[in-house]
């Protein structure tokens, strides 16, 4: 009985973990690689959810078309954010860029509160909330679909970074900016593209989660914090680490919430971060250390 419950909690945790992983992947690009402490990340996620709602419910578009449009819009928005806000601060300390993203976050939350209101929105998908039963575990069709889609997005991003010319240029830029520039890579455009990709991934995560739970303008703060936690758990800029970190956080939270107490569920991520950095100041899956 307890084992069955544990199994169910684990599956629930893996579902949430998959979304943590997806939104954290975007942040691992922006925070881990570009070293921009992006407090507006949760707002990118939120914008994805709200846009997704308006495109499906108000304009009546197909779910997949909606995701494609959200990716394009939010990618463009990410590029714009980099161009207008981050590029002038390139080379400044992380304090400065963190502050500009805090300003952006305040602006986005409150503007969307005015535009979209406080009401939670649910995004309709072609998949029913019909439960599927595997032995002791129950999971809805919509969740299975969302997790699969999320996994596909993660895989696509992985291919983009590892196999394409653009991905190669990105990796080169973040390894050695000057050398990359000398090799003829337009470094500024790569930075812009990285932020675009990060924002688009956060937004897709927002659409998918909006189809399972709800999309709301004020959700961003918690999402940003969770994404930071996952990125640190997984190691800055590590793709596999972010996926693993997301799943670990999701499962631990779900098990803790199920067996111990739901009130302290949100502490786990922060406690893990504090513990891990005390024991391994360089992060869980990283080896080199810089600080004296």
Partner 1 sequence: MRDESKILLGLLSVAVFLPVVVTDDYVMHLLIMACFYAVLASSLNVIVGYVGELSLGHTAYLGIGAYAAALSATSLGLSIGWTVAIAALAAGLAGLVIGALTLRLEGPYFVIVTLSFAEVLRIISNNWVAVTNGPMGISGVPGPHFDLGPLQFAVSSKAEFFYLALALAVVALFALHRFVYSNMGRAAVAIRESRYVAQSIGVNPFRYALVAFVLGAVFAGIAGAFYAHYITFVGPDVFGFSFMATMLIMVLIGGKGTLVGPIIGAVLVVFLEEYLRAVEEIRFSIFGILVMIVVLFFPDGLVGLRRALRRRSDRAKAAPHPSIVPSVSDVAPGMTEAEAAERNR
* Interface with partner 1 (CB under 8 A), residue from 221, 252, 258, 285: 221
The SS3 assignment for 280 reads coil
* Interface with partner 1 (CB under 8 A), residue from 68, 69, 80, 99: 99
Assess 185 for contact with partner 1 (CB under 8 A): no
Least spacing, CB of residue 197 vs partner 1, in Å: 19
Give the residue among 252, 284, 283 at the shortest CA–CA distance from 269. 252
How many residues does this entry show for the chain?
292
* Interface with partner 1 (CB under 8 A), residue from 96, 162, 164, 186: 96
Assess 271 for contact with partner 1 (CB under 8 A): yes
Distance (Å, whole) CA 236 – CA 234: 7
Give the residue among 8, 123, 130 at the shortest CA–CA distance from 56. 123
Assess 279 for contact with partner 1 (CB under 8 A): no
Assess 46 for contact with partner 1 (CB under 8 A): no
DSSP state of 287: -
Assess 249 for contact with partner 1 (CB under 8 A): no
Signed CA dihedral, 282, 240, 150, 101: sign only: positive
Distance (Å, whole) CA 28 – CA 226: 12
Q: Of 119-178, which residues contact partner 1 (CB under 8 A)?
A: none
The SS3 assignment for 161 reads helix
Give the residue among 43, 30, 26 at the shortest CA–CA distance from 82. 30
Decide whether 155 or 259 has the Cβ nearer to partner 1.
259
Return the range that interacts with partner 1 (CB under 8 A); candidates 9-17, 157-165, 185-193, 225-233.
225-233
Q: Of 17-36, which residues contact partner 1 (CB under 8 A)?
A: 31, 35
* Interface with partner 1 (CB under 8 A), residue from 20, 44, 174, 228: 228
Assess 80 for contact with partner 1 (CB under 8 A): no
Assess 288 for contact with partner 1 (CB under 8 A): no
Assess 65 for contact with partner 1 (CB under 8 A): no
Least spacing, CB of residue 229 vs partner 1, in Å: 7
Give the residue among 51, 48, 46, 53 at the shortest CA–CA distance from 106. 46
Distance (Å, whole) CA 268 – CA 275: 10
Return the range that interacts with partner 1 (CB under 8 A); candidates 64-72, 83-91, 157-165, 203-211.
83-91
Assess 259 for contact with partner 1 (CB under 8 A): no
CB within 8 A of 234, min separation 6: which ones? 24, 28, 240, 241, 242, 243, 244, 245, 246, 283, 284, 285
Binding site for partner 1 (CB under 8 A): 31, 35, 37, 85, 88-89, 92-96, 98-100, 102-111, 114, 221, 225, 228-229, 232, 236, 261, 263-264, 266-267, 270-271, 273-274, 277-278, 281-283, 289-292
């Amino acid at each position: 009985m307890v084992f069955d419950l544990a199994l169910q909690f684990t599956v629930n945790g893996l579902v949430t973990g998959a979304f943590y992983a997806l939104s954290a992947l975007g942040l691992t690009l922006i925070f881990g690689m570009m070293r921009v402490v992006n407090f507006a990340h949760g707002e990118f996620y939120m914008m994805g959810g709200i846009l997704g709602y308006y495109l499906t419910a108000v304009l009546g578009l197909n779910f997949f078309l909606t995701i494609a449009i959200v990716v394009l819009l939010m990618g463009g928005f990410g590029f714009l954010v980099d161009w207008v806000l981050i590029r002038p601060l390139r080379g400044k300390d992380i304090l400065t860029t963190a502050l500009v993203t805090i300003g952006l976050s305040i602006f986005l939350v409150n503007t969307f509160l005015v535009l979209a209101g406080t009401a939670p929105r649910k995004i309709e998908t072609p998949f029913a909330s019909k439960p599927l039963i595997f032995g002791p575990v129950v999971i809805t069709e919509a969740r299975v679909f969302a997790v699969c889609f999320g996994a596909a997005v993660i895989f696509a991003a992985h291919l983009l970074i590892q196999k394409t010319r653009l991905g190669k240029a990105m990796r080169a830029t973040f390894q050695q900016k000057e050398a990359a520039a000398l090799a003829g890579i337009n470094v500024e455009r790569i930075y812009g593209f990285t932020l675009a990709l990060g924002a688009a991934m956060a937004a897709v995560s927002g659409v998918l989660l909006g189809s399972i739970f709800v999309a709301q303008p004020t959700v961003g703060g918690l999402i940003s914090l969770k994404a930071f936690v996952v990125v640190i758990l997984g190691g800055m800029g590590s793709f596999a680490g972010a996926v693993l970190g997301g799943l670990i956080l999701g499962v631990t939270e779900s098990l803790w919430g199920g067996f111990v107490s739901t009130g302290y569920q949100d502490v786990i991520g922060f406690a893990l971060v504090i513990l891990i950095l005390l024991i391994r100041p360089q992060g869980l899956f990283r080896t080199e250390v810089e600080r004296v």
